[in-house]
Structures are given as C-alpha cells and as structure tokens.
Structure 1
Amino acid sequence: MNVLVVTANADAPFLTQQVDALEARGVAVRILPIAGEVGADVDRSPLDYVRTVPRVLREAGPEYDLVHAHYGLTAPAALAQLRLPVVLSLWGSDVYGPAAPVSKLCAPLCAETVVMSDAMRTELGRGTVIPDGVDLERFRPESRARAREDVGWSADEYHVLFPYSPARTVKNYPRAERVVAAASRRLDRPVRLQTVSGVDHDAVSTYLNAADALLLTSDSEGSPNSVKEALACNVPVVSVPVGDVPERLGGVDPSVVARTDRALVAGLVDVLERGERSNGREAAREVSIERTADRMLAVYERATGTRVADREREREAVASR
C-alpha cells in the first residue's frame, strides 16, 4: 500500500513513530508537509494551507492508494484531489479549538476519520478511536538517581515535570505553577516545576525517569503523548480530566485525576510524599506503537477496500508475467 501523508507537523515524534511502524507492515509512506514554518509560539497562516493545495494536486497520482491527512486544517488540501480516498486523523485541538469548524465540515467527506479519544468521537459524532502509540522500547523505567545525574537535577528537591513550552497557552502553565507552589508549601522539601520542551525525543525518557511526577494542566487534549510516555516509565501522573487521560489512568497507582486546584494540590502532595513508582507500564501496553499501528493499518484497508496481502499477491503476479 502506498500512502501520501499531508501533515502540519512532519517532525512530530508520534507521527514519525507511526510511519516507521506502518512501513514495517508493508506500507510505503511519502510525507508532504504544509507550507510555511511553525514553532511553539508561531502558527501557520491560512495562506500556508492554501499554498499546499496545488502541491497535493500534483503529488496525489495513481501510484498512491490513499491520502492520510493529519490535523483538521490539512483536510481541505487532501480532499481537493478527487482521485484517492482520504483518511483524516484529528489531534484534539482541531476538534475543540478554533479549527473545529473545518474538522467537522471535512470529516463526513473522508473515507475514514481517526480520533484520539471517546470524548473526541462524541464531540465529532464519528470516528475510529486510535490514540497515538508509545514506543515501549524507548520509554521504560530507569534509575531515578541516575537519570537526575544525567539531566543535572538536585537530589534534595522534588521534581515535577511539565513537558511543554510555557508559551503554549492551551497547556495552561500558570495553573501548573500555582499547583506546584501550593504543594511546595505543604511539604518538607522544595518542589521544583521542571519545564522540558524542544529536547531530542530520545532524551525525553531520561527527563521522565528523573521526575517524581508528571503534571498536566491543559485546557484541552486529545490523547496526550506525555501521559502515555510517563505510564511506560512508571512515573506517576497528576492531571486534569482532559482527553483520554481518565481512561489511561484507570487502575494506575499512584496517579491522580482532579478538576480543581485544591484537588490537584492534594493529589500531587500525596504522590510526592509516597515517593513510589506507578504501575503504569502495564496500562501503556494497550497503546503501544505496535498495537496502534495494527489498528491504523485496518483503517487504511477499510478506506481502500484492499488488504495489503492481496496487493502484494497482485504485484507478485504481475512481476512473474
């Protein structure tokens, strides 16, 4: 199967991991990024998405089986070509944020729509739920003391990881600051909020293993990768109930899901005082990259009406003539 991926973030680790896993299953992938530059505090303009349409029209030839549009605002460019079926993957902010009208308009026109959580499916009124997968080989429990030495964090403080840029307003960094400051006043040693963003993805596991807990205070999410990666490392999570976080943390101990600042502070204090690793790795197996890639391949097969094995047999038959 040959797939053209149109994406707003070609370098996103969750996307590159998914592509690698699909290629291991016989899918050839070509990535076509949206025009323009993007950063933590810089978004693409509507013109960048418009400029991508002619590129998709030129690229989407008969050698492809489908177009996979990642992120709601890429859907119009993917649908502009009429030759191939379109699979649309929605990330969360494109269902709850300003891009939601575009996502909701385009989703019924796509052969298949993929969402990150049951809540997203309810909001959209359609979709197959496939969270982004986590690489269990890359993210695994390691020595906390050794990890702290590697990242240069003090052994005399609690360390709470906020795995995003404070500039991303949807992640609500000011709330994380309030919660950590209040927790610190109730404990016998300081609590330091560690913001980590822009580091190589291979280093994220070390930062997670160095932390006492991960704190998530986002206003909205789909299926936050940081939570699944923390689970894979057995790092406790304290989070607001966004996206699929309540489902992911079901049965994980210690970890806390809470709505109010007061409950978040109490939960974080309890997690830090206990000082234990969680049992999250077992829960993370449900969303391993291997399982999610298998489910995405099934979506591709439904969208095209063709199984990869059948196409391989066709190619072999042609080659033998």
Structure 2
Amino acid sequence: MHVLTLTNSADAPFMNQQMAELERRGVSFTTVSVSGDVDATTARGPTDYLRTVPKVISESSNGYDLIHAHYGLMAPMALAQLGTPVVLSLWGSDVHGPVKPVSSLCAPLCEEVVVMSEEMREELGRDARVIPDGVDLERFQPGSQDRARERVGWDDAGDAYQVLFPYPPEREVKNYPRARRIVTAADNLLDRPVELRTVHGVDHDTVPDYMNAADALLLTSHSEGSPNSVKEAMACNLPVVAVDVGDVRERLARVEPSWVGTSDEELITGLMDVLKRGERSNGREAAKEVSIERTTEQILEIYEQVAGETTQQVRDAPQIE
C-alpha cells in the first residue's frame, strides 16, 4: 500500500512515529508538507497553503491507494483532487479552535475521519473513529532519576522539586502563565522549593530523560486532543497533574498518583499532594492501552478498509467493451 501524507508539520514526532510503525507493516509513504517557515509564535498564512495545492494535485496523480491528510487545514487540498480516497486525522486545535469550520465542512467529504478523543468527536458533531496517537513504550521507559538528572543537567537542583512543562511558553494554547501561577503557589506553600522546568525544542529521543528527571508533569492547556506528553509521562511512571481537557481524565482514571482538576485551587492541591508523596506512578500499565503498536493496528485497519472499498468499486464499475 502506498499513501500520500499531507501535513503542515512534517517534523511532528507522533505522526512520524506512526508512519514508521506503519512502514514496518508494509505501508510506504510520500509526504507533501506546506511551504513556508513556522515556529512557536509564527503560523503559516493562507498563501503558504494555496501555494501547496498544485503540488498536491500533481503528486496525487501518481497512483496512491489513499491520501492521509493530517490537520484540518490540509483537508481542502486533499479533496481538491477527485480520484483518490481521503483519510483525515484531526489533531485537536483544528476542532476546538478557529480552524473548526474548515474541519467541519471537509470531514463529511472524506472516506474516514480520525479524532484523538471522544470529546473531539462530540465537538466535531459527526461520526469519526477515536484513535489517540500511540506512545512508543520502548523509547519511553522508567529510569533512574539521578542518572536522568545528570544527563539533562539538573543534577545541581538540590532538594528542589522539579515540575516539567514540556512546551514552548510562547504557545498560547498551552497556557504557560497558569502553569507558572500553579508552581509559584506550590513553592510558597511547601517546605521544599518547587521549580518549573520548561523543556522544548530538544531531540525527541532525549524527552524520556526529562520525564525520568522530573517529579511531576504539569499540563495547563486551554484545549487538547489527546496530549502526547501525558501518555509519554505515563509510560515513564511520571505523575501527572493536569486540567480536564481532551482525553486526559480517561487516560489518568486508573493512574496513581495523578490529579485532574479544573480550578487553580484544585491544581495547586493536586501538585502539592503528588510532590509530597514523592512516588512514581503506575502509569505505564495504563499506557499499554495506547501503545504505538495498538494504535497502528487501528490505523492500518482504516487504510485497508478505505483502499479495499476503492478497489472493489473499480472491480464493480461497468466495463466498456
């Protein structure tokens, strides 16, 4: 099976992990990414997307079994060609944010739509397959906190609690000011210092070290689909304190210690409780439900269904003598 991947974020680790696992199962990919530069504070503009449409239309004529469009803004260009079936994966902000009208308009025109959480499916308002991004349990494993702190340069932290915030502070949706507020309050109330560690832009292979070096992960986002950092923390048995967004409550339902709250007071209480207990969580067991192997099987099932339906339609079409 050969798939054309369309994305506005070609370096997204969760997407590339999924594609690598699918490649091990016999799927091959060609990727077309939106032109233009982007960072934590700069998004691509309409011109960047428009410039990419002719490239997609041209590439799509090369005999692909299907097109997999990642993110709502990629759907219009995937649908601009008429001969190849489209699978659309929505990531979260394209359902909860200003891109939602585009996602809602295009979703019914795609052969299959994949969302990351039940909350996203309800917000989208139509049938979709709920498949969260999988976590690589071989890469994300529990490890020695002391050795991890040496590797990431936190070995001079003394007795201070280390709270991980694995996002750029500039990304508004991640709500860094609230994370800072929560940690400052906990620091004022606990006997030991509490430090907020913002980690971003590092090689994804080093992220497990930061997970193992930290005492807790703090998620304060305005909205999420199925946050990968939470699942990666679970795989490393790192306790998580999070707002109730996306599928966080479902993922952490059986994880102890962990905490899901809505108000600042609840998040402060939860963070203090997790830090004072000083224990690693049992999150790895729960993370097995969303291992990359399991989620890849579900995506492969969709690929085979969509490509198979198209093949059957060709077989059943009237033949011209």
1:155 Cα deviation after fit: 3.3
Q: Which of residues 164, 168, 171 is equivalent to 1:161?
A: 164
Task: Give the letter for the 1:145 counterpart.
Answer: D
Q: Map 1:279-318 to 2 at 5 A.
A: 279-305=282-308
Aligned partners of 1:148 and 1:155 also within 8 Å:
no
Q: Which amino acid aligns with 2:235?
A: A
Give the corresponding residue for 1:7. 7
CA deviations over 1:246-297 (Å, ceiling 9, x no partner): 0100110000000000010000000000000000001111111111111001
Distance 1:109 1:35 in 2: 25
The 3-state SS of whatever aligns with 1:107 is: helix
- The within-5 A match list for 1:82-231 is 82-124=82-124, 125-153=126-154, 154-231=157-234
> What residue is the counterpart of 1:317 in the other structure?
none
Please name the residue that 1:315 is paired with. none
User: How far apart, in 2, do the equivalents of 1:232 and 1:142 lie?
Assistant: 11
Q: Say whether 1:273 aligns with 2:276.
A: yes
Distance 1:145 1:306 in 2: 53
Alignment partner, residue 33 of structure 2:
33
Q: Structure 1 residues 104, 307: closer, same or farther in 2, change over 3 A?
A: closer
Structure 1 residue 62, shift from structure 2 partner: 4.5
Structure 1 position 192, deviation (Å): 0.2
Distance (whole Å) between structure 1 residues aligned to residue 186 and residue 141 of structure 2? 27
Task: State the AA in 2 paired with 1:144.
Answer: Q
Partner residue, 1:314: none
Deviations, residues 157-201 of structure 1 (Å, cap 9, x unaligned)? 100000000000000000000000001111111100000000000
Q: Distance in 1 between matches of 2:74 and 2:195?
A: 39
Bigger mean CA offset, 117-126 vs 166-175: 117-126
Residues 257 and 279, structure 2, Cα contact 8 Å, conserved in 1: yes
Distance between the aligned counterparts of 1:60 and 1:152, measured in 2?
47
Greater mean deviation of Cα atoms: 278-287 or 298-307? 298-307
1:307 Cα deviation after fit: 11
Partner-residue secondary structure (3-state), 2:88: strand
Q: CA RMSD in A?
A: 1.3
Offset from partner CA, 1:117-146 (integer Å, 9 cap, x none): 000011112210010110000000000111
Amino acid at match of 1:304: A
Amino acid at match of 1:136: L
Identity %: 64
DSSP 3-state at the match of 2:279? coil
- Residue identity in the other structure for 2:103: S
Query: Unaligned 5+ residue runs, structure 1?
Result: 311-321
Count residues in correspondence: 309
| Offset of residue 52 of structure 1 | 0.9
Separation in 1, partners of 2:175, 2:48: 27
TM score, norm. by length of structure 2: 0.94
Q: Is the partner of 2:5 in helix, strand or coil? A: strand
CA offsets 1:11-37 (integer angstroms, 9 cap, x no match): 111011011001111111111101111
Work out whether residues 85 and 310 of structure 2, in 8 Å CA contact, stay in contact via their aligned partners in 1. no
Paired residues of 1:147 and 1:207 also in contact (CA < 8 A) = yes
Deviations 1:180-230 (A, max 9, x none): 000111111110000000000001000010000000000000000000000
- Is the contact between residue 88 and residue 114 of structure 1 (CA under 8 Å) also seen in structure 2? yes
Q: TM-score, normalised by structure 1?
A: 0.94
Partner residue of 1:243 out of 222, 241, 246? 246
1:30-109 paired onto structure 2 within 5 Å:
30-109=30-109
Does the Cα contact within 8 Å between 1:6 and 1:70 map onto a contact in 2? yes
Partner Cα distance (2:99, 2:247) in 1: 20
Deviations 1:47-105 (A, max 9, x none): 11111110011000242100000000000011001010000000000001010100000
Q: Distance in 1 between matches of 2:143 and 2:45?
A: 41
